[in-house]
Amino acid sequence: MAMSMEPFNRLVRLVARAFYDDITMKGENQPKNGRSDNRGMAVVVLDALTRRQWVREEDLAKSLKLHSKQLRRTLRFFEEEKLVTRDHRKETAKGAKIFSAAVAAATADGKKNPREGEEKVKLHTHSYCCLDYAQIYDVVRYRIHKMKKKLKDELDSRNTIQEYICPACKRRYSALDVLQLISPTGEHFVCERCNNELIAESDKLASQEMGDGDENARRRHREYLKEMLQKIEIQLKPLIQQINRVKDLPVPEFGSLQAWEARANAAGLLNGDPGGNDPNRANQGQGYGGTPMPYLGETKVEVALSGAEVKGEEDNGADIGSPMKQLPPWMIQEGMNLTEEQRRGRGEVKSDTKIVSSSTSTYDIDEKKPNDVKEEDKSIQDEYIKAYYAAMVKRQEELKMHQKTQNELLGGDVSNVQETHPGRQVGMKAKREDDDVEWQEAAIPAVANGAPKVNDLNITASESENEDDDGVDWEEG
């Protein structure tokens, strides 16, 4: 279901307004008065359906504040028009719940409504309906094609039966009579009465032999047809454009009611929505509390991608189970914060490490570092840390050796120590950059101290060790 609904929904809305604007859904024996004029209702129903997937007709009626009979009539009409698929099934209250759960899951609508319906044991026939986008696309194209073809045929006077006329006695013959009228030579048709050669009627028009009002009416009719054809072109232009736009897109497919229900429920569970099948929660009543719109789960994801990446990061941990789409490589731009799932299947992770190094080089503290990059970095950091420890231990030993030797050599030579100090500083700095540990400050004072004592060095080293440990703890926690 990785497809965008919006172009198709737009198509449906355009179709509704183009073709079903002034359809009245009226019973044959209903009194005709102002109140029963429900033109435009078809449009409302179709619009409402574009915002839903499978929906129980009662619920739809409630949310549209329509009488369910009226709605059913409209939907039956649309079913005949092949815009809507419907499904009827006998079900107990429990069956209805499963559907409600599916709707709730699809809506990702967290609020619970305690108004639990009374337990019904009786079987009720429930009707469900859903837009059939693939069929709508075909039906609309066919409809437009038929409209144009009909007008064009009439304009070209195709499928009209040719008439022939005798120039002498004005007797008219239709093409259906011609079998008896063929001249002995077979060249042309002759009048039964006066044996004159017949002329086809359109020829007569060409030879300017006009005059009677019939001819004028014919021409007016032709002009009318032409006008109609032009109007079709103009007025349906947005619709045709939308059809062309939709042409290459994958059609949203909800499948049958059962399949959809199962899928929606599964998605609901994935969403970390344990109440999905909870009977208390089910039947939470589409109509009772608000009108939950079963938006597609995908829509939500798209929003998260397009705009609030940074904001989305904080939630990232929370809805880790939500169905994340794997982004195609061309959609991934540098600087995008990607989740593990989104990035999967991508060969390289270089851009992400770049982010890390840039953020750390600006003395960013770990807490602000995006969560998503830590997976990759962890291994790298661990390696660095290990190497760092090794270097640290080695250095300390060296220093101790120095100390000893210095003490032994009457300890006065400070410059010797100073020489070792910058070397150590550089090595540490290089490591530090990748460690994301905030101990630049700790090191700087050491430099600023000028000629440090050996003890100082040890202190800073131990400090850094502590901080390092912190960093590791944080990473793993």
Partner 1 sequence: MFFHMVLERNLLLHPRHFGPHLREKLVMKLMKDVEGTCSGRHGFVVAITAVDGIGKGEIREGTGFVTFPVTYQCVVFRPFKGEVLEAVVTMVNKMGFFAEAGPVQIFVSSHLIPDDMEFQTGDMPNYTTSDGSVKIQSDSEVRLKIIGTRVDATEIFCIGTIKDDFLGVINDPDAAV
Q: Give the footprint of partner 1 on this chain (CB under 8 A).
A: 156-162, 164, 175-179, 182, 186-189, 200, 202
The CB-of-117 to partner 1 minimum distance in angstroms stands at: 54
- Which lies closer to partner 1 via its Cβ, residue 92 or residue 157? 157
The CB-of-156 to partner 1 minimum distance in angstroms stands at: 7
* Short-list 256, 322, 295, CA closest to 6: 295
The CB-of-168 to partner 1 minimum distance in angstroms stands at: 18
User: Across-strand partners of 473?
Assistant: none
- Which lies closer to partner 1 via its Cβ, residue 32 or residue 158? 158
- Which lies closer to partner 1 via its Cβ, residue 3 or residue 175? 175
User: Cα–Cα distance between 285 and 114 in angstroms, integer?
Assistant: 10
The CB-of-115 to partner 1 minimum distance in angstroms stands at: 58
- Which lies closer to partner 1 via its Cβ, residue 206 or residue 410? 206
User: Cα–Cα distance between 95 and 88 in angstroms, integer?
Assistant: 12
CA angle 454, 458, 463 (to 5 degrees): 145
- Yes or no: say if 83 and 139 are a contact pair by the CB < 8 Å rule: yes
The residue length of the chain stands at: 477
Phi, psi of 100 (to 5 degrees): -60, -40
- Which lies closer to partner 1 via its Cβ, residue 187 or residue 334? 187
- Yes or no: say if 137 and 246 are a contact pair by the CB < 8 Å rule: yes
- Which lies closer to partner 1 via its Cβ, residue 157 or residue 216? 157
The CB-of-313 to partner 1 minimum distance in angstroms stands at: 58
The CB-of-31 to partner 1 minimum distance in angstroms stands at: 40
User: Across-strand partners of 174?
Assistant: 163
- Yes or no: say if 293 and 51 are a contact pair by the CB < 8 Å rule: yes
User: Across-strand partners of 90?
Assistant: 125
- Yes or no: say if 312 and 370 are a contact pair by the CB < 8 Å rule: no
The CB-of-226 to partner 1 minimum distance in angstroms stands at: 17
Query: b/e for 287-319, b at 16 or more Cβ within 10 A?
Result: eeeebbbbbbbbeebeebbeeeeeebeeebeeb
The CB-of-176 to partner 1 minimum distance in angstroms stands at: 4
Q: Give me 56's structure tokens.
A: 């129980």
- Which lies closer to partner 1 via its Cβ, residue 78 or residue 164? 164
- Which lies closer to partner 1 via its Cβ, residue 159 or residue 244? 159
